[in-house]
């Protein structure tokens, strides 16, 4: 059994002081749920509106959609889980949001930015004075016209992108091709069928021309090969007797030099009797 700890006069004094001392006042500057924004209107007393982090996140999202938060988007603090919201994180977040709002008021005009006007004047159509000044932590911006007369928001970045058509323009097609792409059941079915027949005939004729071209190239190659073979054989036959010697002639040349009488011409052969004896 653990020994009991005896209460000393010092520990008893601190316990009594903690029990009697009043609870500390809530520090709104460190409240992670609500953030104070001071709005000062000309001719009116300054008023403070409370905004949550998600209100600033919604404002940041709307400004990014309009393409107006590119220059000060880096000042917006990231989201932190509620369990990790220590006092240092809350102070850092408040300073970052203060700097973000300062940069937004410095770069943007409230009269030309409806999201910023709705953020600073919730539930009001227009400020009380046409020349009102809005400030937060020493930064001010003037509002010259009510929110109802503000210009409409510009196109988003998705709508302003230049898109390339993924299919041909139907107005630039021929009637037959347009009907063929539209499918069956359209008024131009006959034209579409005729157009398909023309395409099929052209394809068949192109294939026939390709086959004929291949046959012609093969015949030309065979003729060239035969001519080369004949030239090769002729050159080797003519050069063979010269290689054997000058006294030997080819059989073709000897046969061409001999002359035989033609029996059909009726010539008589003269025989010498001395040679016969």
For residue range 74-115, list pLDDT tens digits in order.
Answer: 778 877 766 666 777 778 888 888 888 888 888 888 778 888
State if pTM tops 0.85. no
Residues 121 and 207 in one domain: no
161 in any annotated domain: no
Residue 260 lies in a domain: no
Q: Of 106, 130, 149, which residue is a domain's last?
A: 149
Q: Where are the beta strands (DSSP E) in the chain?
A: 35-39, 47-51, 132-136, 139-143
277: in domain: no
Same domain, yes or no: 52 and 133: yes
Number of domains forming the structure of the chain: 2
* Residue 139 belongs to domain spanning: 28-149
What the block records as the tokens of 103 is: 């940069």
Higher-pLDDT residue of 122 and 211 is 211
CATH code, 40: 3.30.1520.10
Q: What is the pLDDT of residue 183?
A: 57
pLDDT, tens only, 195-227: 778 888 888 888 888 899 899 999 999 999 988
Domain-embedded: residue 115: yes
Please choose, from the candidates 90, 56, 85, 89, the residue with its C-alpha nearest in 3D space to the C-alpha of residue 73: 56
* pLDDT band with cut points at 50, 70 and 90 for residue 258: very low
Confidence grade of residue 116 (pLDDT, cut at 50, 70, 90): confident
Most confident of 18-22, 166-170, 171-175: 171-175
Q: Which of 132, 149, 166 is the last residue of a domain?
A: 149
Q: Are residues 44 and 105 in the same domain?
A: yes
Measured CA to CA, the distance from residue 237 to residue 218 in angstroms comes to: 29
| CA 240/CA 234 separation, integer angstroms | 10
């Amino acid at each position: 059994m653990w020994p009991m700890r005896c209460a000393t006069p010092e520990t008893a004094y601190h316990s009594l002081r903690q029990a009697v001392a009043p609870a500390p006042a809530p520090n709104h500057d460190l409240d992670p749920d609500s953030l104070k924004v001071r709005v000062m209107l000309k001719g009116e007393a300054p008023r403070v509106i409370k905004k949550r982090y998600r209100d600033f996140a919604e404002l940041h999202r709307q400004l990014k959609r309009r393409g107006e938060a590119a220059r000060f988007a880096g000042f917006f603090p990231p989201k932190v889980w509620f369990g990790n919201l220590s006092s240092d994180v809350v102070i850092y977040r408040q300073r970052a949001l203060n700097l973000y709002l300062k940069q937004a008021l410095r770069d943007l005009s409230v009269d030309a930015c409806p999201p910023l006007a709705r953020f600073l004047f919730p539930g009001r159509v227009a400020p009380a004075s046409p020349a009102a000044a809005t400030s937060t932590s020493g930064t001010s911006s003037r509002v010259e016209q009510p929110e109802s007369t503000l210009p409409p928001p510009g196109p988003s970045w998705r709508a302003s992108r230049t898109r390339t058509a993924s299919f041909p323009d139907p107005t630039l097609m021929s009637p037959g091709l347009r009907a063929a792409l539209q499918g069956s059941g359209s008024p131009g079915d006959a034209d579409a069928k005729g157009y398909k027949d023309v395409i099929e005939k052209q394809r068949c004729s192109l294939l026939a021309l390709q086959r004929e071209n291949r046959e012609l190239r093969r015949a030309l190659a065979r003729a060239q090969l035969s001519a080369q073979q004949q030239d090769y054989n002729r050159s080797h036959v003519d050069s063979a007797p010269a290689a054997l010697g000058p006294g030997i002639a080819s059989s073709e040349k000897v046969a061409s030099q001999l002359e035989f009488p033609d029996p059909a011409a009726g010539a008589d052969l003269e025989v010498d009797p001395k040679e016969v004896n």
